[in-house]
Amino acid sequence: MLKSAEKAADWLLSGLELRSTLFHVGQYCGVWRASTAGHQRASFHLVLEGACWLHLPASFGRAARSTRLVAGDAVFFMHDTAHCLSPDEHAPADDAFAVRIGAMTPLGANSEPEAGVALACGFFEFRSDLGDAISGLLPEHIIARHDDVKLAGARTTFELIRAEAARAQDAPSPLINRLTDVLFFYALRAFASSDDFAPGLWSVMRRAEFAPLVNAIIEKPGDDWNTHTMAALCHMSRARFCKQFAEACGQPPAQFLALLRMKVAAEMLRHGESTSNAAEHVGYQSESAFAQAFKRITGLQPGACRRARGREQADAAETRVH
């Protein structure tokens, strides 16, 4: 049985495959404005040295926001989000967010580095056992602060990123990509235990009244988890349970249950278990009904999930041989 929301989050993120790609690393000085928006991809910015401002325009009921970032901070955008970085604490006009100003120069090219900011910027993509269902529950962006006590373990990772950026004069070090992956996972874990999250998956895991239910479903996903049994485990009436769960999670209990079940099933399939065994373990008597649910939530057929695992193992074996 999982003991905490953080462990539950680790379990949920264990099937998440992340691939970071460094776009550029260098420094800006004087008047400049930078952004990774408009590429239809998730992206990140790491502040290696100096300070700057992150500006977000008003969107979908969210007020415009400007946040100061300093050395050691990082921001990860889960989706293609309108934003810009600049040295100015005042945000540009809404129609100027997409206008880039200034040019990035190599690290160390400026004789007065304190006058500017050094950045590592790039894109990332992540696939999950749960497909778009996971990314849809994540926040628009996550800011990882250098002084966040929950990110103490990430500081060494950031220092390694900074060291790799400093030594790569001609081309960015490929290690920065992998180190950024690690930093991103630290940021996600910190978000899972933060107090200023948006309603969603982590909210349910952290709520004392729902945490036992989440752990129980993970432990025995094939049990008869209807809304009555879930409400009873949480010591609530069915109506109160459904209302409070939906408010905390942003989706009804049945949809959340399906997410956890398919996560468990995907892990089994990736480890070579048959589709029929995976289906039965998570509560499906019909293999075809399970396949339909699995496809709807993960975007893959069960067989494709098993074959993907086989390809990964073959690639790993080929790498060891050569």
Q: For residue 142, give its domain range.
A: 16-192
Other C-beta atoms closer than 10 Å to the C-beta of 221 total 18
Q: For residue 5, which amino acid is it?
A: A
Instruction: Give residue-wise pLDDT tens across range 163-219.
Output: 888 876 666 778 888 898 888 888 877 776 654 444 456 667 767 888 888 888 888
pLDDT in tens, 124-147: 887 666 655 566 556 788 898 998
Pair (182, 248) in one structural domain = no
Task: Read off the amino acid at residue 173.
Answer: S
Same structural domain, 49 and 186: yes
What's the pLDDT score for residue 314? 42
Strands (DSSP E) along 91-214, which ranges?
Answer: 116-127, 141-144
Residue 202, domain member (yes or no): no
On whether both 42 and 179 belong to a single domain, the answer is: yes
- pLDDT for 198: 41
Verify that 71 and 168 share a domain, yes or no.
yes
Instruction: State the pLDDT at residue 48.
Output: 92
In a domain? residue 319: no
Instruction: Check: CB of residue 35 under 8 Å from CB of residue 90.
Output: no
Instruction: Give pLDDT, residue 208.
Output: 80
Q: What is the DSSP letter of 299?
A: S
Residue 66 Cα to chain centre, angstroms:
22
Closest CA relative to residue 73, chosen from 135, 154, 140: 154
Here the tokens at position 29 are 């000085």
pTM: 0.69
Number of domains in the chain: 2
**83 assigned to some structural domain:** yes
| pLDDT the model gives residue 173 | 79
Q: What is the C-alpha to C-alpha distance for residues 101 and 55, in angstroms, rounded to an integer?
A: 15
Ordered mean pLDDT values, 10 residues apiece, the chain (322 residues): 56 72 89 92 92 91 89 90 94 88 80 73 77 63 87 86 78 83 82 53 74 87 95 95 88 89 87 92 94 88 74 40 32
